[in-house]
Amino acid sequence: MPAHDNHAIAHNAQTMQSAAHAARRYGGLSAQERSAQRRQKLLDAAVQVFGTLGLRRATIRDICNEARLTERYFSEHFASVTDAYEAAFKCVSEQALLATATAMGAASLDTIALARAGLRAFLGFVQEDPRRAQIMLIDASSYWRHIAIKSNPELNQHAQAMRQFAKLIYPDLPDHIDLRLIGPSLIGASLQSCLTWVQGGCKQPLETAVEHQMFVWEGLDRWFHAEIDAQKKPTGVSRSV
């Protein structure tokens, strides 16, 4: 092979390597980093759009315009509007879980104290930013109805945390009480009450909204203690010799 051909091949290879390197690094970021950056922009835009327009009115174009990205980048990360909504729901739910867990972590290990701290933190979280209420409560009340029957990781995380607290607070709880059935009931009641509160414009003071949910937890606490006491009582009286 002539020497000039070897030089040409080497030059072409070097050019291709330079082009590949330029594709990998642009503006100091790799292709993977730029993709992650675009996804975060789209996710932030989704929270804004769903939080202000609602799921029914939001479109892919709305989200892309908010993110200032073309629709081809949307399809790179999300399959549909509902797919983007689920990502926004997950994002806001994780923030809510963190806020609630932080508040409960500072409370005493007591059902009433933990419930009050958790409810106060959650209600404060959705009241602080109306977009959160729109995504987590208003839109979710209808959209997640069929999803929750199959699987809802965010709600399952809440239920799992509640079961862990219950085992710590009530170590002698009888085995016949199934915490897996109780957790979803408590969460469902709390979410429905929160939904009613935000749909009414949060007119009642936050503490009033909290206290109007505490009867559920107070009743649960009484029931658990009654079951524990009943378990400790002797089943029969032995005859004296």
Number of domains in the chain: 1
Residues 225-238 pLDDT 10s: 999 999 987 765 44
Of 17-31, 134-148, 209-223, the one with minimum mean pLDDT is 17-31
> Is 240's pLDDT higher than 80?
no
Residue 241 lies in a domain: no
> Is 197's pLDDT higher than 90?
yes
Share of the chain above pLDDT 90, in %: 64
Which two tokens mark 115? 């419930």
Alpha-carbon distance of 23 to 32, in angstroms, equals: 10
pTM exceeding the 0.85 threshold for the entire prediction: no
Which residues, listed in sequence order, are joined to residue 29 by a DSSP beta bridge?
Answer: 26
**Number of Cβ atoms within 10 Å of the Cβ of 105:** 9
Alpha-carbon distance of 189 to 150, in angstroms, equals: 19
Q: Which residues contact 106 (CB under 8 A, 6 or more apart)?
A: 117
| Domain region containing 203 | 82-232
Q: Are 125 and 104 in contact (CB under 8 A)?
A: no
Residues 11-38 pLDDT 10s: 555 555 554 454 455 567 788 889 999 9
Residue 71 lies in a domain: no
**Number of Cβ atoms within 10 Å of the Cβ of 235:** 5
CA angle 221, 227, 228 (to 5 degrees): 90
Residues 50-85 pLDDT 10s: 999 999 999 999 999 999 999 999 999 999 999 999
Q: Are 221 and 135 in contact (CB under 8 A)?
A: no
Alpha-carbon distance of 96 to 92, in angstroms, equals: 6
- Among residues 116, 97, 99, 110, the alpha carbon closest in space to that of 160 is found at 97
Residue 87 lies in a domain: yes
- Among residues 112, 70, 101, the alpha carbon closest in space to that of 220 is found at 112
Residue 15 lies in a domain: no
The domain that holds 127 is classified in CATH as 1.10.357
Q: Which three-class secondary structure state does DSSP give residue 63? A: helix
> Is 185's pLDDT higher than 80?
yes
Which residue bears the tokens 């699987």?
151
Task: Give the mean pLDDT of the chain.
Answer: 85
pLDDT value at residue 195: 95
Residue 48 lies in a domain: no
Q: What angle, rounded to 10 degrees, do the helices at 179-199 and 214-232 form?
A: 160
